[in-house]
Structure 1
């Protein structure tokens, strides 16, 4: 039997890994167990079995949100079971909502947030 992929994780370059991790914790409910390096420069965030890694950039010019290269492109996209409920949670937590919720022509109810470094993250629920 062949090996299986079990999870994946986007990796974002950020200006300040501690501030960015705390923002994802406070505004979007992600958690982390520890920072790596001294001073801290890397962290693995998790929520609901999903992961996001943050690496502190050596230089801010290396942080390139994908929407700045290609119109309306996310840096990461998470599939969710209830986009409306997650959107309401994020609004209550103070996340910067980039757009939505809205129904897309590709069959998703989705919204997007923007983090401290300008990365866009989409959250979409497949409509049946």
Structure 2
């Protein structure tokens, strides 16, 4: 009996609550190189960002108190983590774009070279490469 599923997962997207979806989307665009085609809602309250085939969805919270970055409830926990092909080059790109660097390039005991950024709402986003 073949138990392999016919449908395959093809992509995923973390969803973050933000205080101001337009400001947040523009920050991701300007400092981390994400792009977007449009906002949804009137006034705008949702956007899908994309970079290199990776997606992030932002939804404006109805109440700013609902925006709770993971690190505020679990020490040093990211909201998003991306694996990348060249972490050193990405770090330099983000620095040159003015991204808020949460922690600089470092080699972690779990085998990743990584760095972290923080968006306008305090969400921590890690970027790393597995070190051979």
Please give the TM-score of this superposition, normalised by the length of structure 2: 0.95
| Structure 2: gaps spanning 5 or more residues | none
Distance 2:131 2:12 in 1: 23
Select the structure that is richer in strand: 1
Q: CA shift at 1:76, angstroms? A: 0.4
Deviation at 1:100, TM superposition (A): 1.8
Aligned to 1:94: 98
Which of 46, 62, 66 is the matching residue for 1:42? Answer: 46
The aligned runs of 1:16-27 (5 Å cut-off) are: 16-27=20-31
2:37 is the counterpart of 1:33: yes
Counting only pairs closer than 5 Å after superposition, residues 1-128 of structure 1 correspond to structure 2 as: 2-128=6-132
**C-alpha distance in structure 2 between counterparts of 1:49 and 1:70, whole Å:** 29
Question: For 2:101 and 2:10, how far apart are their aligned partners in 1?
Answer: 30
Deviations 1:27-65 (A, max 9, x none): 000000000011000000000000000000000010000
Structure 1 residue ranges, 4+ long, deviating more than 3 angstroms after superposition? none
| TM-score (norm: length of structure 1) | 0.98
Partner Cα separation in structure 2 for residue 30 and residue 119 of structure 1: 16
Deviation at 1:2, TM superposition (A): 2.0
Q: Can you give the 5+ residue segments of structure 1 that lack an aligned partner in the other structure?
A: none
- 1-side partners of 2:113 and 2:12: how far apart? 22
